[in-house]
Structure 1
Amino acid sequence: MERFFKEPWRIAGWVAAVALGLLLVTTTVRCAAESLPLYEALFERHSVSERTGITPKGLAHVGREVQAYFASGSDDPLLVEVEVHGVPRSLFNENEVSHMADVKALFLRVYRVQWLSAALLVALTLLAAWRLRRNAYLVIASWLRRGAALTAGVILVLGLLSVVAFRQVFIVFHYIGFPQGNWVFDPRTEYLVQVFPFGFWRDITLLIGVFILLGTAVLWGADGVLRRYCSRERPAS
């Protein structure tokens, strides 16, 4: 089997590991971004209804509108109408709408990375199955283990930084992700940071990290299953 781990399969192994990590991260981010129950739980946890004067039902409507906006391919701006203290109004101002357009563009890039990573993994898996036949199982198992280890290592480092200094990490992320600079808002007057306060993002980020680590554990377990299968199928010498 040693020859199967030499070039170019060694290179393919690292490419697959990175693609696997990207797929796991982007899929987890997408699931969190599209989970209305998660939004509602965090709205309740951070007393958003009491702080904003928007009912829980109204906040659910806001969450649905934001999620629909991120999922759409339209260039139309985000317009959310909701009652605040019983008075109907447009929730977000021009600066907030502009920032949400930038957030949407970032999410669309994340989704493209998700699909490209999945396509690359499918292509590599089919290539391994075609070229290596039954030996492909052990090669794919090594991809799973390497991808799990690589992803877990990165997430643990970022998770430690987030626990120790999340505010600083949050600010650096915004400087990198939104160089336009339109991401600073007044929490006294602007509803974007009232509906989605700092604690909302801290909690959802930590939850995403936890689920990614659970995903790496599943990948590591799948590696073990494949290796046991290969050992049983290998003929005795």
Structure 2
Amino acid sequence: MNGSLKIQIIDAVRTILVLLLLVTAVAGLALFLTLLISPLLLRVPDHFLHLSKALVLRDYGHLLLYLILPWPQSPLTLAGIPMTDNAVAHFSDVRHLIIMTLWMTIVALIGAGLALRYEKRTWQLWKLSGPLKSLLALLIIVGLLAIADFDDFFIRFHYLAFSNMNWVFSATDNPIINLFPDTFFATLFGIWWLFTILFLTLIQWCINRYLRRLIRKL
């Protein structure tokens, strides 16, 4: 392997690693922003378990905090909404995934920041512009395909993410599922996807703006 080819391979691997860090950081940040605004999207059915809307929203807030707070939590219990042991176990599994995503996001944010700083210092930032544009196009296509057949995408995701079938809720045994129709999750996915695209687009705009200013100085 000659020196030129070796340098090209190293540059390609470095670019891929930086893009992976960016995507992980941005997707994780988008996820937590989406979760934080999710109470605004919750629609409580009329006469839901004969509970007040305030109590249902308080239960959802408690569930949300249980899922995203990183320190140890007591087993999930809600004030008004009953749940089976399988449902509690599923929310525990979801919590593990979200907390793992939280730490990955923090590490990726730090790594991406250091990587972008290094690329800028070594005058290599321009190498990210083209691949980042291609990555954005790919994410747009994949997101549109997922939204077009969201039910199938959602089910496949659960089969991949969870090793059990605790995620299959009965509305009779676990009425909380009535708070989360397919449209609720589809909307959350759409918002997360738009946040991810928006953040990556903003990063690309900042890179291109820096490069244009750099060219004008030369």
Deviations 1:177-214 (A, max 9, x none): 11222110112331231222222111111111122222
Report 1:46-85 matches (<5 A): 47-70=44-67, 71-82=69-80
TM-score by length of 1: 0.79
TM-score by length of 2: 0.85
Write out the 4+ residue segments of structure 1 that deviate beyond 6 Å after TM superposition: none
Letter matched to residue 199 of structure 2: G
Letter matched to residue 149 of structure 1: S
In structure 2, the CA distance between the partners of 1:128 and 1:212, relative to structure 1 (3 Å rule), is: closer
Mapped contact 1:28–1:211 kept (Cα < 8 A) = yes
In structure 2, the CA distance between the partners of 1:58 and 1:141, relative to structure 1 (3 Å rule), is: farther
Deviation, structure 1 residue 51: 4.2
Q: Is there any run of 5+ residues in structure 2 with no aligned partner, and where?
A: 1-6
In structure 2, the CA distance between the partners of 1:50 and 1:124, relative to structure 1 (3 Å rule), is: same
Give the aligned partner of residue 194 of structure 2: 210
Deviation, structure 1 residue 49: 4.8
Report 1:82-97 matches (<5 A): 82=80, 91-97=82-88
Deviations 1:108-132 (A, max 9, x none): 12112211211221332343455x2
Give the aligned partner of residue 156 of structure 1: 140
Give the aligned partner of residue 165 of structure 2: 181
Deviation, structure 1 residue 74: 1.0
Q: Counterparts of 1:161 and 1:183 in 2: how far apart (Å)?
A: 23
User: Percent identity over the alignment?
Assistant: 16
Letter matched to residue 224 of structure 1: N
2:90 to 99, 110, 130: 99
Mapped contact 1:22–1:117 kept (Cα < 8 A) = yes
Corresponding position: 1:147 with 2:132: yes
Letter matched to residue 143 of structure 1: L
Deviation, structure 1 residue 7: 5.2
Q: Counterparts of 2:209 and 2:128 in 1: how far apart (Å)?
A: 13
Corresponding position: 1:165 with 2:162: no
